[in-house]
Amino acid sequence: MTRAEEIAGNLARVRERIARAARAAGRAPEAVRLLAVSKKMPADDVRAALAAGQRAFGENYAQELRDKSAVLAGEPSPPEWHFIGPLQSNKVKYVAGKAALVHSIDSPALLDAFEARAVAQPCLVQVNVAGEASKKGIAPADLPALLDRFAALKHLRCEGLMLIPPRGDARPHFAALRALRDREAQTTRANVDLRELSMGMTEDLEVAVEEGATIVRVGTAIFGARPT
Ligand SMILES: Cc1ncc(COP(=O)(O)O)c(C=O)c1O
């Protein structure tokens, strides 16, 4: 089996997992988008996934997104890139305007750094639902004020929330993100439409779909273990 065949087979299995979980939860399989996390994987792996019909790819490192998107820009149907990693303000220039969606906005400073680039940028706010000191993401208590800030911006739009849960049972964290979204969606804010919930990875994508994920971010089940 070639590497391309391996990736195509893995993608088919992941799509089937998503579809089965969606149907079991009474949701349409098309209501959940698959983001293939290509972090640390070569451009040829992305090409193989593109050939197997995958469109959206997630990257964690700003320069890697810049470099891979440049290499693959000439493909007949280039990838839709998403940025899903922690980001320092000085690296925003590599991402702004290149990512179809930035999943990891987690502070007013990062919001302002994107706005300063003056390019349209859809994004999600990453929430640290469990309050883990080691994890990125805004505290739930600070979320309303961060969402309020979007009203004053010209270029950024908030399309939803993102979560990386702690190790262990992710379900309560997924449910908490959804509850936060449902609560905040009751407030009308300019430039904010909380329709996306980005949650669920290789280990727990079924649970995330059951709890309302609209985007699952899957790396290992598609590309295998990442190089360290
Ligand atoms: C933010 C984020 N989402 C999703 C993934 C994919 O995780 P997995 O390989 O377990 O599917 C990663 C991997 O590093 C990640 O950093």
Ligand 1 center to 31 CA (angstroms): 20
Spacing, Cα 218 to ligand 1 middle (Å): 6
DSSP assignments along 12-28, one per residue: HHHHHHHHHHHHHTT--
* Mutational test site, ligand 1, from 81, 125, 201, 204, max ligand atoms within 8 Å of CB: 201
The pTM score is 0.97
CB-based contacts of 186, cutoff 8 Å, min separation 6: none
For ligand 1, the distance from its centroid to the CA atom of residue 217, given in whole angstroms, is 6
CA 75 to CA 51: how far, in whole Å?
10
CA of 129 to the centre of ligand 1 (A): 17
CA 62 – CA 143 distance, rounded (Å): 24
* Residue with CA at minimum distance from ligand 1 atom 10: 202
Q: Which two tokens stand for residue 83?
A: 């940025």
Is the sign of the CA dihedral 205, 206, 207, 210 positive or negative? Answer: positive
Q: One digit per residue, pLDDT tens: the chain, 228 residues? A: 999 999 999 999 999 999 999 999 999 999 999 999 999 999 999 999 999 999 999 999 999 999 999 999 999 999 999 999 999 999 999 999 999 999 999 999 999 999 999 999 999 999 999 888 777 899 999 999 999 999 999 999 999 999 999 989 999 999 999 999 999 999 999 999 999 999 999 999 999 999 999 999 999 999 999 998
Do the beta carbons of residue 140 and residue 180 sit within 8 Å?
A: yes
